[in-house]
Amino acid sequence: MRRSNQAESGISGHYRSCFAVLRRILVDKYISKRIYNQTVINSADRLNRTFAALADPTRRAILARLASGEATVTELMQPFTISQPAISKHLRVLEQASLISRGRDAQRRPRSLEAGPLAEANEWLERYRQIWEGSFERLDDLLNELSTRDPEQHPRIRPTTRRKGASR
């Protein structure tokens, strides 16, 4: 009897260790997948906030001003004909998109430009620019090929005439 108990405990111990390894692999895969998905979601969310903030011309003008150096709310208000609360709302949107940061200098609260989100948006746009450039190059090649062909081989399409009484 003792021997069979030892054999059973050895087998069950083996299964327990296999199960532990398998469980660890599954947990690791689950965690890494969640981290990856969260990273993708966060990245997309950051891009959405960045582009939403850049959609407004006032906020783009504020960013252009901050590109030359930090400024207070009062300094940022000067070129605009809008109220201080309206400027503060624009600044809040820019801060939520992490495009600007608020500093502390005694009584002043200067804002400064943060380059990270703009670089991320530029990187995203760059991928699509390369795709479009490739498409335009192929279109140029096709147009060049068509312009060098014999015109009799491809007769021009005659323009259609408008019927009387037809409206545009």
Q: What is the CATH number of the domain that holds 54?
A: 1.10.10.10
Q: Is residue 155 part of a domain?
A: no
The model carries a pTM of 0.56
Report residues of the chain scoring pLDDT below 70: 1-15, 18, 30-43, 150-168
pLDDT at 55: 93
Q: Is residue 104 part of a domain?
A: yes
What is the number of domains present in the chain?
A: 1
Instruction: Map tokens 């000067």 to a residue.
Output: 78
Long-range contact list for 109-115, CB < 8 A, 24+ apart?
109/72, 109/73, 110/70, 110/71, 110/72, 111/66, 111/70, 111/71, 111/72, 111/73, 111/76, 112/66, 112/69, 112/70, 113/63, 113/66, 113/67
pLDDT at 154: 58
Q: Is residue 56 part of a domain?
A: yes
Full residue range of the structural domain in which residue 126 is found: 38-147
Contact 70, 112 (CB under 8 A): yes
The tally of CA atoms less than 13 A away on the side-chain side of residue 116 is 12
Q: Is residue 152 part of a domain?
A: no
Q: Is residue 49 part of a domain?
A: yes
